[in-house]
C-alpha cells in the first residue's frame, strides 16, 4: 500500500470510534466545526507526500514491498539518512509553522526507534521483540496515523501508581488466550482524534514489585477498539468567526488533547510489547536509544516554530517602523539567537552522530537535550516578544469580516500603518494574536512546557546523564597544580619560570 492520500486518511477516521467533546459524542469528526480544520490539515500533510516536487524528499522505497513509504520510518544508517529525515520533518513542520507538534512523523520516528531495538523488547520474551517489529512494518506499509499516551491521571503524585488512593490508572485486569484486558485511564493523548492507532507505553518510574506489575505494560491498539473512549478538552477553534482569517492558526492546527479511558479493552497478544515487566518499562526510551531520534524530530519542529515567530516579528515591526528603536532590535535579535541556537544544535547532533548497538545511527543526544531543556522558556519568551511589539495593536484589530461590512471605509482608512494597507495590517495582527495571545497560544505554551516531560524531573535526568567526572578532575588537577607551585615558591606568585 505505502503512502496514503489525505482522503484515505479522513475516510479511515470514520470507523465508529468513541470521541467525546463538550459533553456529546462526535459522530462526524471531519464535518464537525471544532475538529474539521485540523482534520483537513492532516489530509493536506498526507497529500504532500504525493506531490511531484516533494515525493523524493518525503518518502523512500520500502525494503519489504518496494512501495513508497514515509521517510519518517527510515532506520537511519548514516548521517545522510538523518539529514534526509530532517528534511522530511522540516517540510511538514514548515507547512504547519511548527504548531502541529504531533503530526504523524513524531510517532513514526518514535515507533521506528523502538523497532530498530527489537532485541531490547525481546529480552523478556522473543515474541515481544517480534511484535514491535511487526507493528512497525504494519504502520510503515499502511501509513498509519498514530498517537501515544504515557502518563497516568493526576491523583496523588506523591505516591507510586500502585499506592494511589483512587485506582484510576490504566492497568492489566485480566489475561486471556486472545490478549490482555486493560481497565482505567491514561491522561493525555494529543492527536487521538486524528489517529488510527494508539501506542500506550510507560514513562513514569515503576517499582519492581508484584503490586506494580499490572501497570507495567506497553501495547498498541486501534483507536476504534471496543471499550476505548477518547474524551477531548474543549477546542480552541473559534466557533463562529467573522472571517477565517481572524484565527488562521487555531482554525487549522488545534491537534486536540484527550484523556483515554480503557473500559476493559482487549489488546491482542500480537500487539503487546511489554507485559508485567517494570524493569523493562523503566528507561525503555534510553535503552532503545529511541529518545535521540525523537528529540531530532521535535527539535526540527522547534526550529520551524522559532523561525515562524521570528518572521512574524520582523513583519510586524516593519509595518509601523518600530524596528528603528534599539530595544526593539534587541528583542528581534533575541529571536534570531533562538533560531540560530536551535539550528546549530540540530546540525551538531548530526555532525556528532553515533552508531547504536542496533546497527542504526542516532543523532548525538547532548545538543538535542540542550534544546529540549531550553526551548520551553524560549517559546514562552517568543510569545511575550510578539506581545511587547504588537502592544495595543494586537487588541485593537477588528475581524477581517469588517472589510465586507458597512464600516468598510472606516476600516480601510483607520487601520492602515506607515508601511501597510489596512487589509495587510488586519491579517498580520490577527495572525500575531492567534500565535501569541489566544487560547490556542496558551495551549501551545503549555504544550512546550510539558509535552516532552516535566522540566523539573527532566533536569534531574539530564544532570544524572551528563558526564561530570572529567570536569571535576579538571578543577582538582588545577588546584593541586597551583598548590604544588605555591609550596615551591612560598613567598612569590606561583607563575612557572619563563622558558629561554
Ligand atoms: C498540551 C499537552 C499535550 C500533551 N500530549 C501528550 C501526548 O500526546 N502523549 C503523552 O503521553 N503525554 C502528553 N502530555 C503529557 C506530558 O507527558 C506530561 O504533561 C508531562 O510528562 C508531565 O506530567 P504531568 O502532566 O502528569 O505532571 P505532574 O507529574 O502531575 O506534575 C505537576 C507538577 O507537580 C510537580 N511534580 C509532580 N511529581 C513530582 C515529582 N515526583 N518530583 C518533583 N516534582 C513533581 C511537577 O514538577 C509539576 O510542577 C501532554 C501534555 C500537555 C501539557
Establish if 470 belongs to a structural domain: no
Same domain, 320 and 262: no
What is the CA(198)–ligand 1 centre distance, in A?
A: 19
Dist CA 205 CA 279 (whole Å): 9
Q: What angle do CA 183, 188, 193 make, to 5 degrees?
A: 90
- Pull the grid cell for residue 29: 469528526
Output the residue whose Cα is nearest ligand 1's atom 16.
451
Dist CA 149 CA 127 (whole Å): 23
Same domain, 280 and 391: no
- Ligand 1 atom with the smallest distance to the CA of 452 is 17
Please report, in angstroms and rounded to a whole number, the separation of the first and last CA atoms in the chain: 76
- Residue 492: strand, helix, or coil: coil
Task: Check if 154 has its Cβ closer than 6 Å to any atom of ligand 1.
Answer: yes
Boundary-marking domain end, from 287, 317, 348:
287
CA atoms within 13 A on the CB side of 441: 20
Establish if 379 belongs to a structural domain: yes
Output the residue whose Cα is nearest ligand 1's atom 4.
451
User: Residue 402 belongs to a domain with what CATH number?
Assistant: 1.20.140.10
- Of 145, 202, 161, 156, give the one whose Cα is nearest residue 13: 145
- Ligand 1 atom with the smallest distance to the CA of 191 is 8
Dist CA 258 CA 151 (whole Å): 12
Establish if 487 belongs to a structural domain: no
- Residue 15: strand, helix, or coil: coil
Establish if 217 belongs to a structural domain: yes
Same domain, 225 and 374: no
Quote the pLDDT of residue 491. 63
Same domain, 182 and 101: yes
What is the CA(150)–ligand 1 centre distance, in A?
A: 10
Q: Is the dihedral of CA 470, 475, 480, 481 positive or negative?
A: positive
Dist CA 478 CA 98 (whole Å): 46
Same domain, 296 and 282: no
Ligand 1 pocket test, candidate residues 195, 454, 461, 464, most atoms within 8 A of CB: 454
Establish if 341 belongs to a structural domain: yes
What is the CA(450)–ligand 1 centre distance, in A?
A: 6
Task: Check if 447 has its Cβ closer than 6 Å to any atom of ligand 1.
Answer: yes
Same domain, 159 and 296: no
What is the CA(152)–ligand 1 centre distance, in A?
A: 9
Same domain, 318 and 193: no
Establish if 146 belongs to a structural domain: yes
Look at the block and give the residue holding cell 507526500: 49
Quote the pLDDT of residue 203. 84
Look at the block and give the residue holding cell 484523556: 259
Give the 3-state secondary structure percentages of the chain, helix then strand then coil, rounded to 5: 55, 15, 30
Same domain, 175 and 189: yes
Quote the pLDDT of residue 490. 65
Establish if 481 belongs to a structural domain: no
Boundary-marking domain end, from 252, 287, 322:
287
Same domain, 12 and 53: yes
- Residue 73: strand, helix, or coil: helix
Task: Check if 110 has its Cβ closer than 6 Å to any atom of ligand 1.
Answer: no
- Of 149, 278, 143, give the one whose Cα is nearest residue 215: 278
Task: Check if 269 has its Cβ closer than 6 Å to any atom of ligand 1.
Answer: no
CA atoms within 13 A on the CB side of 360: 23
How many other CB atoms are there within 10 angstroms of residue 403's CB atom? Answer: 19
Output the residue whose Cα is nearest ligand 1's atom 53.
447
Output the residue whose Cα is nearest ligand 1's atom 27.
454
Look at the block and give the residue holding cell 539518512: 81
Task: Check if 103 has its Cβ closer than 6 Å to any atom of ligand 1.
Answer: no
Task: Check if 461 has its Cβ closer than 6 Å to any atom of ligand 1.
Answer: no
Dist CA 361 CA 354 (whole Å): 6
- Of 432, 461, 478, give the one whose Cα is nearest residue 317: 432
Task: Check if 450 has its Cβ closer than 6 Å to any atom of ligand 1.
Answer: yes
Taking only Cα atoms into account, the Rg of the chain, rounded to an integer number of angstroms, comes to 26
Q: What angle do CA 283, 289, 292 make, to 5 degrees?
A: 110
- Pull the grid cell for residue 17: 470510534
User: Residue 222 belongs to a domain with what CATH number?
Assistant: 2.40.110.10
Task: Check if 454 has its Cβ closer than 6 Å to any atom of ligand 1.
Answer: yes
Same domain, 348 and 410: yes
Same domain, 274 and 374: no
What is the CA(302)–ligand 1 centre distance, in A?
A: 19
Task: Check if 460 has its Cβ closer than 6 Å to any atom of ligand 1.
Answer: no
Range of the domain at 375: 290-465
What is the CA(153)–ligand 1 centre distance, in A?
A: 9
Task: Check if 453 has its Cβ closer than 6 Å to any atom of ligand 1.
Answer: yes
Task: Check if 270 has its Cβ closer than 6 Å to any atom of ligand 1.
Answer: no
Cβ-based burial of 461 (10 A; exposed 0-12, middle 13-18, buried ≥19): middle
Dist CA 451 CA 416 (whole Å): 39
Output the residue whose Cα is nearest ligand 1's atom 1.
447
- Residue 460: strand, helix, or coil: helix
Which residues face 261 on adjacent strands? 185, 229
Q: How many domains does the chain have?
A: 2
- pLDDT, one tens digit per residue, over 17-40 is 999 999 999 999 999 999 999 999
Ligand 1 pocket test, candidate residues 188, 190, 203, most atoms within 8 A of CB: 188
- Ligand 1 atom with the smallest distance to the CA of 148 is 9
Quote the pLDDT of residue 488. 75
Establish if 1 belongs to a structural domain: no
Q: Per-residue pLDDT for the chain (500 aa), expressed as one digit of tens each?
A: 999 999 999 999 999 999 999 999 999 999 999 999 999 999 999 999 999 999 999 999 999 999 999 999 999 999 999 999 999 999 999 999 999 999 999 999 999 999 999 999 999 999 999 999 999 999 999 999 999 999 999 999 999 999 999 999 999 999 999 999 999 999 999 999 999 999 999 988 899 999 999 999 999 999 999 999 999 999 999 988 999 999 999 999 999 999 999 999 999 999 999 999 999 999 999 999 999 999 999 999 999 999 999 999 999 999 999 999 999 999 999 999 999 999 999 999 999 999 999 999 999 999 999 999 999 999 999 999 999 999 999 999 999 999 999 999 999 999 999 999 999 999 999 999 999 999 999 999 999 999 999 999 999 999 999 999 999 999 999 999 888 888 877 666 767 777 77
Same domain, 273 and 406: no
Amino acid at each position: 500500500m505505502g503512502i496514503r492520500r489525505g482522503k484515505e486518511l479522513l475516510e479511515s477516521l470514520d470507523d465508529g470510534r468513541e470521541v467525546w467533546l463538550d459533553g456529546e459524542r462526535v459522530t462526524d469528526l471531519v464535518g464537525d466545526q471544532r475538529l474539521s480544520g485540523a482534520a483537513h490539515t492532516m489530509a493536506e500533510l498526507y497529500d504532500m507526500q504525493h506531490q511531484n516536487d516533494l515525493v523524493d524528499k518525503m518518502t523512500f522505497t520500502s525494503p519489504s514491498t518496494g512501495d513508497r513509504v514515509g521517510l519518517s520510518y527510515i532506520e537511519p544508517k548514516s548521517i545522510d539518512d538523518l539529514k534526509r529525515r530532517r528534511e522530511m520533518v522540516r517540510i511538514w513542520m514548515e507547512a504547519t509553522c511548527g504548531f502541529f507538534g504531533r503530526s504523524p512523523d513524531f510517532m513514526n520516528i518514535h515507533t521506528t526507534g523502538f523497532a530498530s531495538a527489537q532485541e531490547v523488547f525481546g529480552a523478556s520474551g522473543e515474541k515481544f521483540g517480534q511484535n514491535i517489529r511487526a507493528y512497525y512494518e504494519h504502520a510503515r506499509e499502511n501509513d498509519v496515523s498514530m498517537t501515544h499516551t504515557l502518563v497516568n491521571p493526576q491523583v496523588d503524585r506523591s505516591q507510586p501508581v500502585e499506592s494511589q488512593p483512587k485506582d484510576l490508572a490504566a492497568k492489566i485486569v485480566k489475561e486471556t488466550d486472545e490478549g490482555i484486558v486493560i481497565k482505567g485511564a491514561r491522561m493525555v493523548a494529543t492527536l487521538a482524534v486524528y489517529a488510527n492507532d494508539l501506542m500506550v507505553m510507560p514513562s513514569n518510574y515503576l517499582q519492581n514489585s508484584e503490586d506494580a506489575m499490572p501497570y507495567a505494560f506497553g501495547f498498541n491498539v486501534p483507536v476504534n477498539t471496543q471499550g476505548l473512549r477518547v474524551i477531548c478538552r474543549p477546542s480552541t477553534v473559534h466557533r463562529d468567526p467573522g472571517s477565517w482569517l481572524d484565527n488562521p492558526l487555531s482554525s487549522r492546527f488545534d491537534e486536540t488533547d484527550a484523556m483515554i479511558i480503557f473500559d476493559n479493552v482487549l489488546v491482542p497478544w500480537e500487539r503487546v510489547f511489554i507485559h508485567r515487566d517494570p524493569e523493562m518499562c523503566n528507561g525503555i526510551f534510553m535503552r532503545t536509544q529511541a529518545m535521540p531520534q525523537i528529540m531530532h524530530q521535535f527539535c526540527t519542529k522547534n526550529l520551524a516554530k522559532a523561525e515562524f515567530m521570528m518572521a512574524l516579528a520582523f513583519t510586524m515591526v516593519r509595518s509601523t517602523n518600530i524596528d528603528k528603536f534599539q530595544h526593539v532590535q534587541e528583542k528581534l535579535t533575541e529571536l534570531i539567537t533562538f533560531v540560530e541556537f536551535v539550528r546549530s544544535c540540530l546540525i551538531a547532533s548530526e555532525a556528532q552522530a553515533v552508531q547504536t548497538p542496533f546497527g542504526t545511527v542516532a543523532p548525538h543526544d547532548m545538543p538535542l537535550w540542550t534544546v529540549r531543556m531550553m526551548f520551553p522558556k524560549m517559546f514562552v519568551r517568543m510569545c511575550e516578544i510578539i506581545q511587547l511589539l504588537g502592544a495595543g495593536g494586537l487588541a485593537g484589530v477588528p475581524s477581517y469580516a469588517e472589510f465586507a461590512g458597512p464600516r468598510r471605509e472606516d476600516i480601510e482608512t483607520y487601520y492602515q500603518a506607515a508601511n501597510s494597507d489596512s487589509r495587510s495590517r488586519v491579517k498580520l495582527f490577527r495572525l500575531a494574536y492567534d500565535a501569541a495571545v489566544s487560547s490556542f497560544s496558551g495551549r501551545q505554551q503549555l504544550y512546550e512546557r510539558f509535552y516532552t516531560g516535566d522540566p523539573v524531573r527532566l533536569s534531574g535526568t539530564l544532570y544524572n546523564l551528563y558526564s561530570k567526572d572529567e570536569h571535576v578532575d579538571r578543577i582538582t588537577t588545577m588546584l593541586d597544580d597551583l598548590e604544588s607551585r605555591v609550596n615551591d615558591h612560598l613567598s612569590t606568585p606561583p607563575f612557572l619560570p619563563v622558558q629561554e
